[in-house]
Chain A
Amino acid sequence: MSNITSQNLTELIKNIKNKKISSEEATKSFIERAEKSRALNCYITENFESAIKKAKEFDNKPNFNRKLPGIPIAVKDLFCTNGVRTTAGSKILNNFVPTYESTVTQNIWNEGGILLGKLNCDEFAMGSSNETSFFGNVQSPIDVNLVPGGSSGGSASAVASNLTPITIGTDTGGSIRQPASFTGTVGLKPTYGSCSRYGIVAFASSLDQAGPMGKNVKDCALLQEIISSYDSKDSTSINFKRNNYSELLTNNIKGKKIGIPKEYRVENMPKEIEDLWIKGIDFVKECGAKIIDISLPHTNYALPTYYIVAPAEASSNLARYDGVKYGFRSKGINLIDMYEKTRSEGFGNEVKRRIMIGTYVLSSGYYDAYYLKAQKVRKLIKNDFDEAYKKVDAILTPSTPSSAFKIGEKTSDPVSMYLNDIFTVPANLAGLPGISIPAGLDKKGYPLGLQIISKAFDEQNLLNIAYAMEEKINFKNTIKEWWFN
């Protein structure tokens, strides 16, 4: 049997069900590896003792009918976990321990999953490199001093470096797909309304969606069917028929029509990305699907639209972190002074930048020109997709305009950082599901991802296409464990 931690989720479940591995063994293996991998800075909060206890409990009274029987899982620190510190990567929640559980994580525990710990992320999920976390940046297992992407950078690094068999992230503008692409892993952002937002620290409510990040498509399909549920505690949760995605997964995508949007051929796109895309198109054809050229005319406006809508909502969502009720509080001579000191000291620069942008675009006199206009453009972007889906079943694009960059390379240039999201934000603005699958390496040996976007609620089709392509691509991540001394 191969090393426990290098097994994918499907294998690990099979081995636990066959009693080849106990939950305790598996849990301890991941913990042991995590302890040797602290240089990656994946964890904000380790929950190891409790995890071992739970694993033993599982082994004493195993229930193999559950979908994640005694499987240890680490999650992004944006999900509120009952009794386990939840920080959102921010100083302002440094000492915050929820008394409640997010619906998504509860769904995982209900199926037998065991919480290993809370994974690092950009502060309040604002960032594309996991450099804005109060708890320090996350290292990519791919290469030393490389960013893992963000905001679910801890999650991506943890999966890629075998610290957890699978994980969940959140994706507001690409925060699952971009780090998945940077680390050679699979990341799915579901349809808006598929996974409950209850108990997830909010960044931008109309865009946020939780989703699985794993080593392969099948693992992600399984976790997706577990975390996706209709939840009356989230008014934007949608009651639609959810599949057992992993059971219905098929690589037969013959006759499916895949759209190639010409607007995604952006200026200065590296040749490697262009080549990867062409390679992807060839794979799709090999799978028996048809390629159709399409147009998404408002694609150019997606990024600016996103950087109005998301900060606007964030500026309001983050108003509750005021030092009054919970979290970090600084001393002030009066209420206003306390607010100012708490929020100045409690938030990092990127969060402050976005709060300021958001406050600005909602201000009277600017609201119409920015926020209202952005909402109108958002509608146009959604219409583009609606039009396209009259002709195609899914759309294929690169996940990111480049491979992973170096730590510190873009921190002083927020706009170039924001440009990283250029291919991922349209799906968030339109509420559509998107997946990033690893599709190759660039000349430096860094992974590159391809993104598939499908119709709303059509996760099954999306996963099937990804599954078929995955088989053809046969990607192998080359991780040399540079962080082991």
Chain B
Amino acid sequence: MSTDTGQYLITRDNNIYEVVIGLEVHAQVLSNSKLFSSSATKFGAEANTQVSLVDAAFPGMLPVINKYCIKQAVKTGIGLKAKINKRSIFDRKNYFYADLPQGYQISQYKHPIIGEGKVVLDMPYGQREIGIERLHLEQDAGKSIHDIDPENTLVDLNRSGVALMEIVSKPDLRSLDEVNAYIKKLRSIMRYLDTCDGNMQEGSLRADVNVSVKKKDSKNLGTRCEIKNVNSIKFMQLAISYEANRQVDLIEQGKKIDQETRLFDTKKNETRSMRSKEDAHDYRYFPDPDLLPLELKDDFIEKIKSEIPELPDEKKKRFIDKFNLSPYEANILVSDKETSEYFEKVVKNSDVKLATNWITGELFALLNEKDLGITQSPINAENLSKLINLIKNGTISGKIAKTVFELMAAGDKDPKKIVEEKNLKQQSDPKELEKIILEIISKNQDKVDQYKLGKEKLFGFFVGQVMKISGGKANPKLVNDILKEKLKK
């Protein structure tokens, strides 16, 4: 149940519980090479073809930091309005697993590269500020494949050593909608910055979800459980729902919640215990002696700052101020960087209001239907603005424009040509229209009488007749004006 203040509340008898959520998002750094080696990071490559001696942890191999990944992390930190730590330390997180070749993951523990920041969410009930605890850099592990060979587990090390940013939120999220908005906002910021492609299907964005429940109005947070490695917003929401209700049930039964790590079973839509706090790994973190502490110079940070593009929040503000858009419209247009760029191209040469409506209406519907991103749109910004201008200057009606739009989408790109070739120009000659209208009036004298007696609904009938005869090309405004005039007499 969601309230108008956005809280996710669960009610049992007389008790109302509030759900508290924090996310640890693992975002793959957009970079051609890995965090500590020069191997490629391309998704979907043949198994074990993007593995260097460093990634496979051969004897005597040493990590060398990829400066570009550092830059990407700092960029992201700036996008999260966060503190950039000029000194950070890479630690080793020690554990054994077949897809972890070094026997440790190089991560940042006590001294992350990025400190506290925030992400602002636009919710229907107003803005919500979600605190960022930290962002740190770490290596991804390889992949264990259990379902190819009946007896053996196979290991693909292509992902081993790929740079990840772990972005840890404060326990500030209060509903499934906020989780959705938060992930989308993070994704949007990183895509604006080109620091993560945010592709959840390919695993470039995954999250561990921390869930706890507390009695509403209680100040103390409940015991939390961590749900590991959830890779879609839908699964996050399902996992949180299940987990929150499970915890409430336990409390209602008078039982204690164990702090534990849980797994989300996507087939059964439930979480189950993976390990308790007691048998949690002792990772034996310690500073990696192969790497010196990472010291960032001021001019390095300043240079990155100077390269930061306009981010969604700022762009939204500008769109509202400059184009007079509603916050809702602006939000839709800026949430995706490419969409905002498309919009700006369209409005460069055409009407803002029409552009907004056509992009968020027809164009989005078309892209949705064809499952395309805006960069793959069959109608480019230039042609859409041409179409809008044809509407604006009265060459075609909005209705005809939809037909033209469909033809454009089907492959005839230039709307002007379509209008000419298909003879779709709007009939805007008042004399011609008057002729048609007088003919209709004379043919339907009974309806004219009824109209004059007060059955004003019939006005639509006359408009329809004009459109029918004109093949839909009659200028609707002129038709209205002339009809009103003629029917008065």
A: which residues have CB within 8 A of B? 79-80, 86, 88, 93, 96, 98-100, 102, 197-202, 204-206, 232-236, 312-313, 315-316, 318-320, 322, 324-326, 335, 339, 359, 362-364, 367, 371
Partner pick for A235 among B59, B63, B97, CB 8 A cutoff: B63
A324 to B64, CA, bound (A): 24
Question: How distant is A200 from chain B, measured CB to nearest CB, in Å?
Answer: 5
Q: Which residues of B contact A234 (CB under 8 A)?
A: 62, 64
B291 at the interface (CB under 8 A from A): yes
Binary contact track B43-80/A, C-beta < 8 Å → 1, others 0:
00000000001001111111111000000000000000
Asked whether B290 lies within 8 Å of A205 as measured between CB atoms, the reply is yes
18 pairs from A and B in contact (CB 8 Å cutoff):
A86-B59, A96-B59, A98-B60, A100-B60, A102-B60, A197-B60, A197-B62, A205-B290, A206-B289, A233-B62, A235-B63, A235-B65, A325-B56, A325-B101, A335-B153, A359-B284, A362-B94, A362-B284
Q: Which residues of B contact A200 (CB under 8 A)?
A: 60
A204 to B288, CA, bound (A): 11
Q: How many residues on chain B are close to A (CB under 8 Å)?
A: 30
Asked whether B286 lies within 8 Å of A325 as measured between CB atoms, the reply is no
A327 to B194, CA, bound (A): 41
A236 to B15, CA, bound (A): 59
Q: Which residues of B contact A197 (CB under 8 A)?
A: 60, 62
A319 to B103, CA, bound (A): 5
B263 at the interface (CB under 8 A from A): no
Asked whether A339 lies within 8 Å of B286 as measured between CB atoms, the reply is no
Query: Which residue of chain A lies nearest to B54 when distances are taken between CB atoms in the complex?
Result: A233
Query: Which residue of chain B lies nearest to A372 when distances are taken between CB atoms in the complex?
Result: B286
Asked whether A322 lies within 8 Å of B284 as measured between CB atoms, the reply is no
Given known contacts A235-B292, A362-B94, A371-B286, is B104 in contact with A316 (CB within 8 Å)? yes
Q: Which residues of A contact B101 (CB under 8 A)?
A: 320, 324-325
Q: Which residues of A contact B153 (CB under 8 A)?
A: 335
B155 at the interface (CB under 8 A from A): yes
Question: How distant is B52 from chain A, measured CB to nearest CB, in Å?
Answer: 10
Partner pick for A100 among B58, B64, B103, B285, CB 8 A cutoff: B58
Q: Which residues of B contact A202 (CB under 8 A)?
A: 59-60, 290
A156 to B56, CA, bound (A): 33
Given known contacts A88-B59, A236-B292, is B64 in contact with A312 (CB within 8 Å)? no
B335 at the interface (CB under 8 A from A): no
Asked whether B60 lies within 8 Å of A199 as measured between CB atoms, the reply is yes
Question: How distant is A434 from chain B, measured CB to nearest CB, in Å?
Answer: 20
Q: Which of B152-183 contact A (CB under 8 A)?
A: 153, 155
Q: Which residues of B contact A319 (CB under 8 A)?
A: 94, 96, 102-104
B92 at the interface (CB under 8 A from A): yes
Given known contacts A313-B289, A325-B57, is B155 in contact with A363 (CB within 8 Å)? no
Q: Which of B82-104 contact A (CB under 8 A)?
A: 92, 94, 96-98, 101-104
Asked whether B284 lies within 8 Å of A98 as measured between CB atoms, the reply is no
Question: How distant is A89 from chain B, measured CB to nearest CB, in Å?
Answer: 12
B282 at the interface (CB under 8 A from A): yes
A80 to B59, CA, bound (A): 8
Question: How distant is B63 from chain A, measured CB to nearest CB, in Å?
Answer: 7
A158 to B214, CA, bound (A): 72
Question: How distant is B84 from chain A, measured CB to nearest CB, in Å?
Answer: 21
Q: Which residues of A contact B104 (CB under 8 A)?
A: 316, 319
Partner pick for A316 among B59, B63, B94, CB 8 A cutoff: B94
Question: How distant is A126 from chain B, measured CB to nearest CB, in Å?
Answer: 15
Asked whether B286 lies within 8 Å of A322 as measured between CB atoms, the reply is no
Q: Which residues of B contact A235 (CB under 8 A)?
A: 62-65, 290-292
Asked whether B103 lies within 8 Å of A362 as measured between CB atoms, the reply is no
Question: How distant is A462 from chain B, measured CB to nearest CB, in Å?
Answer: 24
> A197-B60, A233-B62, A235-B64 are known contacts; what are 13 more A-B pairs with Cβ within 8 Å?
A198-B60, A198-B61, A202-B290, A235-B62, A235-B65, A312-B286, A320-B59, A320-B102, A325-B101, A326-B58, A339-B96, A362-B94, A364-B284
Main secondary structure of the interface of A (DSSP, over half): loop
Q: Which residues of B contact A316 (CB under 8 A)?
A: 92, 94, 103-104, 284, 286
Given known contacts A235-B65, A335-B98, A335-B153, is B284 in contact with A201 (CB within 8 Å)? no
Partner pick for A80 among B60, B92, B291, CB 8 A cutoff: B60
Query: Which residue of chain A lies nearest to B155 when distances are taken between CB atoms in the complex?
Result: A324
Asked whether B286 lies within 8 Å of A362 as measured between CB atoms, the reply is yes
A102 to B97, CA, bound (A): 27
A322 to B95, CA, bound (A): 11
A93 to B59, CA, bound (A): 9
A391 to B23, CA, bound (A): 56
Q: Which of B6-46 contact A (CB under 8 A)?
A: none
Q: Which residues of A contact B155 (CB under 8 A)?
A: 324
A401 to B485, CA, bound (A): 118
Q: Which residues of B contact A233 (CB under 8 A)?
A: 62, 64
Question: How distant is B203 from chain A, measured CB to nearest CB, in Å?
Answer: 22
Q: Which residues of B contact A204 (CB under 8 A)?
A: 289
Query: Which residue of chain B lies nearest to A237 when distances are taken between CB atoms in the complex?
Result: B62
Query: Which residue of chain A lies nearest to B97 when distances are taken between CB atoms in the complex?
Result: A335
Q: Which of B275-296 contact A (CB under 8 A)?
A: 282, 284-286, 289-292
Query: Which residue of chain A lies nearest to B95 when distances are taken between CB atoms in the complex?
Result: A319
Q: Which residues of A contact B285 (CB under 8 A)?
A: 362
Question: How distant is B369 from chain A, measured CB to nearest CB, in Å?
Answer: 47
Question: How distant is B151 from chain A, measured CB to nearest CB, in Å?
Answer: 11
Q: Which residues of A contact B53 (CB under 8 A)?
A: 99-100
Q: Which residues of B contact A100 (CB under 8 A)?
A: 53, 58, 60
Q: Which residues of B contact A80 (CB under 8 A)?
A: 59-60
Given known contacts A235-B292, A316-B284, A359-B284, is B103 in contact with A322 (CB within 8 Å)? yes
Q: Which residues of A contact B96 (CB under 8 A)?
A: 319, 322, 339
Question: How distant is B33 from chain A, measured CB to nearest CB, in Å?
Answer: 14
Asked whether A320 lies within 8 Å of B284 as measured between CB atoms, the reply is no
A233 to B57, CA, bound (A): 14
Query: Which residue of chain B lies nearest to A198 when distances are taken between CB atoms in the complex?
Result: B62
Q: Which residues of B contact A359 (CB under 8 A)?
A: 284
Question: How distant is A34 from chain B, measured CB to nearest CB, in Å?
Answer: 25
Query: Which residue of chain A lies nearest to B36 when distances are taken between CB atoms in the complex?
Result: A235
A197 to B61, CA, bound (A): 9
Query: Which residue of chain A lies nearest to B144 when distances are taken between CB atoms in the complex?
Result: A335
A127 to B325, CA, bound (A): 75
Q: Which residues of B contact A86 (CB under 8 A)?
A: 59
Among B60, B94, B98, B282, chain A packs the most CB atoms within 10 A around the CB of B60
Asked whether A201 lies within 8 Å of B59 as measured between CB atoms, the reply is yes
A311 to B94, CA, bound (A): 14
Q: Which residues of B contact A96 (CB under 8 A)?
A: 59
A319 to B94, CA, bound (A): 8
Q: Which residues of B contact A201 (CB under 8 A)?
A: 59-60
A88 to B58, CA, bound (A): 13
Question: How distant is B426 from chain A, measured CB to nearest CB, in Å?
Answer: 69
Q: Which residues of A contact B59 (CB under 8 A)?
A: 80, 86, 88, 93, 96, 98, 201-202, 320
Query: Which residue of chain B lies nearest to A93 when distances are taken between CB atoms in the complex?
Result: B59
Q: Which residues of B contact A313 (CB under 8 A)?
A: 289
Question: How distant is A382 from chain B, measured CB to nearest CB, in Å?
Answer: 15
Of all A-B residue pairs in the complex, the 10 with the closest CB atoms, nearest first, are A319-B103, A205-B289, A362-B284, A206-B289, A320-B57, A199-B60, A201-B59, A80-B60, A364-B282, A205-B290
A448 to B291, CA, bound (A): 37
A201 to B64, CA, bound (A): 17
Asked whether A363 lies within 8 Å of B290 as measured between CB atoms, the reply is no
Question: How distant is A422 from chain B, measured CB to nearest CB, in Å?
Answer: 23
Question: How distant is B281 from chain A, measured CB to nearest CB, in Å?
Answer: 10
Asked whether B286 lies within 8 Å of A367 as measured between CB atoms, the reply is yes
A266 to B484, CA, bound (A): 115
Q: Which residues of B contact A363 (CB under 8 A)?
A: 282, 284
Q: Which residues of A contact B61 (CB under 8 A)?
A: 198-199
A339 to B96, CA, bound (A): 9
Among B53, B56, B63, B284, chain A packs the most CB atoms within 10 A around the CB of B284
Q: Which residues of A contact B102 (CB under 8 A)?
A: 319-320
Query: Which residue of chain B lies nearest to A96 when distances are taken between CB atoms in the complex?
Result: B59
Binary contact track B440-484/A, C-beta < 8 Å → 1, others 0:
000000000000000000000000000000000000000000000
